[in-house]
């Protein structure tokens, strides 16, 4: 968990998230990329590495967090909506003006979240799971896309940001859900 992990031990609320980064090309290839202790794995699938990382995270929480004092959140995977390639290969989401309204256009639930849910089920520390994945899948029109650039510098062929979110927008909904979960926990 790093040198700063001691600061988390007495926090009132801790919010974790990971997954999106695990889908990037360099991570998913799994070659000479993952280190466990002093050992660097020559080849390891992203799913297996993700499971190992989350197991380490869960073990750290179970050993160091007092759940009567600290509320732990895990915010799930935030969807991206690239069409025609990824962020660095011509993918785009510009021109989207409406959310997805037909469930048949939604993506398959990512295996990374099945791994997360398995790890959380094996932990003794309760984790409030803010599962935003399906919700964000509907919102293909809510990314900065090419509109993150001033109008004079916009180019459809430039790399586009179809994995982050416009503000105000989708992240505000995450905050409202988290706030409601905190209020519910405080009322117990």
- pLDDT string in tens for the chain (188-residue length): 677 888 888 899 999 988 777 766 556 666 667 788 888 888 888 888 889 999 999 999 999 999 999 999 999 888 888 777 766 677 788 888 899 999 998 888 888 899 999 999 999 999 999 999 889 999 989 988 888 778 887 766 666 788 888 889 999 999 999 999 999 887 76
Whether 4 is in a domain gets the answer no
Could you list the residue range(s) of the whole structural domain that residue 18 is in? 13-186
Does residue 119 lie within any of the structural domains? Answer: yes
Its pTM stands at 0.83
Assess contact for 28 and 46: CB atoms under 8 A. Answer: yes
Number of domains the chain is built from: 1
**Cα(134)–Cα(176) distance, rounded to whole angstroms?**
16
| C-alpha to C-alpha distance for 69 and 67, rounded to whole angstroms | 5
């Amino acid at each position: 968990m790093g040198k700063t992990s001691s600061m988390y031990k007495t926090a009132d609320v801790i919010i974790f998230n990971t997954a999106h980064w695990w889908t990037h090309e360099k991570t998913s290839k799994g070659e000479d990329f993952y280190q466990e202790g002093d050992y660097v794995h020559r080849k390891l699938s992203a799913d297996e590495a993700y499971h190992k990382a989350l197991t380490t995270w869960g073990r750290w929480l179970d050993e160091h967090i007092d759940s009567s004092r600290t509320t732990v959140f895990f915010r799930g995977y935030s969807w991206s909506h690239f069409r025609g390639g990824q962020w660095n290969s011509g993918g785009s989401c510009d021109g989207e003006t409406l959310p997805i309204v037909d469930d048949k256009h939604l993506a398959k639930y990512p295996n990374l979240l099945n791994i997360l849910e398995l790890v959380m089920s094996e932990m003794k520390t309760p984790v409030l799971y803010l599962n935003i994945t399906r919700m964000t899948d509907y919102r293909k029109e809510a990314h900065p896309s090419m509109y993150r650039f001033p109008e004079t510098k916009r180019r459809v062929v430039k790399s586009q940001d179809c994995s982050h979110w416009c503000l105000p927008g989708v992240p505000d909904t995450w905050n409202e859900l988290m706030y409601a979960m905190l209020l519910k926990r405080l009322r117990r």
